[in-house]
Amino acid sequence: MKRPNIKGSIRQRLVAMLLLSAGAIGVLLYLVVQSVASQIAQESQDNILAASAISILDSARVQQGEISIDLPYSALSMLDSVTDERAFYAIRLNDDFLSGYEKLPRSKDFAGGDTTFQSASYLGQDIRIASTRRSYSIEGEQAFLEVSVAQTLTGLNQTLARVSQIALTVGVGFFLFSAVVALLIALSTIRPLHRLTESVSRRGPADLRPVAAPVPTEMAPLVLSLNSLMGRLQKSLSQSEHFIAEAAHRVRTPLAIVRTQAEITLRRVEKEENRKSVREMIRAIDESSRTAGQLLDHAMVTFRTDNLADETVDLSELVTDVVERLSPLSDLKDIEIAILKLEPVAIKGDAILLQSALHNILDNAIKYSSGQTQVALSLTKQDGFADIVISDSGPGFQDGDTEALLKRYARGQNAEGVVGSGLGLTIVDEVMRAHGGSITLSNNAGGGACVTLSFPLD
């Protein structure tokens, strides 16, 4: 059987796509969690820095044309209460430095409001600075009091690192969970296809029924195409069977007519050389008729064994019927077909094939027997088998012939001069094997061939 041209796997492709999606979602989840956590932490720190700066600014007072600031303790202690960070501050009146850390970076843009935030580096550390300012009237002139409060980012960065690690753990966990779910989804998605495959593969060669098992919507076109193919195959097989039967009829009938006419001509011809020619013509007609007939029988057997009928066959009735059909031929050769024993036996099988097999055996027995002899037949049951035994008084089988004679076109060493095609025993062997039985070729003790057809009984 030719192997299918396989390219890729739906299950692997589905798992890969789901894993890629899960990986992308995991990375996105990691980035989103990290960004949101960083933003929340930054906003929290900015709010505390702004509150600290405003608290310092609120403590400023203008007295006698000068500004005084009573730095509140809580303004810087609130920074220590949140994280263990270093805090810095700077107070300026316009461009004049009043108190704190003079080198602390100063905000240069208050265009967005009275409070600004910036990140900078101070004393070798990363810091976050909140600056706010308020205008005062000092000696009739407007002045801006600016307060900047800064805090290092060490603790914040450590917090963000922990959040990142948690986000990474969540992302990896989500990916692993998604991988398991993706595998289960892939198996579940492919399962209907496996069920359909098992349903079709369990069928016998003759089972061409449409697929009736429920399938998903996506598989409906496949099942429709499969059912359509089975329908066309069933129709084609039926047409082949009818063609074989019709061909057998149309070939055998004209040859039989030609043979009859040749026989009539032989009786009218007086010259010996002409009679010899007509006899050779009759023999050629017999050869052609038998060969054509058995080729068609073999084609029919091959077709029907692939589509074996499962009907109850009464072997005793079948034997009686075949014997009656061959009685004219045996009477013509003055050979008696004697049924010695006929036990009632019923088996499951194809009556037409069984009839063809028995017909071939009896036809061979008559063909190889001489006149005024007997072909004996019996049907018996023993040891779980039904045996049909046919014995004749012909030359029997030569040593080494019994296995070789079951092959196509094989003829016995003593068959020279006897019309035949070498397909009779092949047909019988194929029919017996199709029914689970066997054929045994042997010789009778007193001479002649003995053929035994054994059928297993349930």
Is the predicted pLDDT of residue 369 greater than 70, yes or no?
Answer: yes
| Alpha helices, H only, 6-58 | 10-58
Is the predicted pLDDT of residue 69 greater than 70, yes or no?
Answer: yes
Answer for the pair 57, 71: CB distance below 8 angstroms, yes or no: no
* CA 29 to each of CA 34, 81, 164, 165: distance values in angstroms, whole numbers, following the listed order: 8, 32, 11, 13
Average pLDDT of the chain is 84
Distance CA 18, CA 28 (A): 15
Write down the pLDDT at residue 84. 65
Secondary structure of residue 141 in the 3-state scheme? strand
- The conformational region for residue 100 under phi > 0 = left, psi -120 to 50 = alpha, else beta, is left
Q: How confident is the model at residue 62 (pLDDT cuts 50, 70, 90)?
A: confident
Secondary structure of residue 209 in the 3-state scheme? coil
b (16+ CB within 10 A) / e for 2-39: eeeeeeeeeeeebbeebbeebeeebeebbeebbeebbe
Give the angle subtended at the CA of 347 by the CAs of 343 and 348, to the nearest 5°: 165
Write down the pLDDT at residue 412. 73
Write down the pLDDT at residue 66. 81
Q: Which of 2, 159, 121, 135 is nearest to 62 (CA)?
A: 135
Q: Which of 287, 453, 255 is nearest to 361 (CA)?
A: 453
Answer for the pair 129, 105: CB distance below 8 angstroms, yes or no: yes
Q: Which of 63-67, 171-175, 272-276, 327-331 has the lowest mean pLDDT?
A: 63-67
Write down the pLDDT at residue 318. 92
What separation, in Å, do the N-terminal and C-terminal C-alpha atoms of the chain show? 33
- Run of H or E including 91: strand 87-93
- Run of H or E including 452: strand 449-456
* CA 296 to each of CA 30, 245, 326: distance values in angstroms, whole numbers, following the listed order: 76, 8, 19
Write down the pLDDT at residue 317. 92
Dump pLDDT digits (tens) for 106-138: 877 776 677 888 888 888 888 999 999 888 887
Give the max Cα distance, the chain: 169
Is the predicted pLDDT of residue 315 greater than 80, yes or no?
Answer: yes
Write down the pLDDT at residue 319. 92
Dump pLDDT digits (tens) for 171-214: 888 888 888 888 888 888 888 888 888 888 887 766 778 888 78
Task: Give every CB contact of residue 183 below 8 A, 6+ residues apart in sequence.
Answer: 15
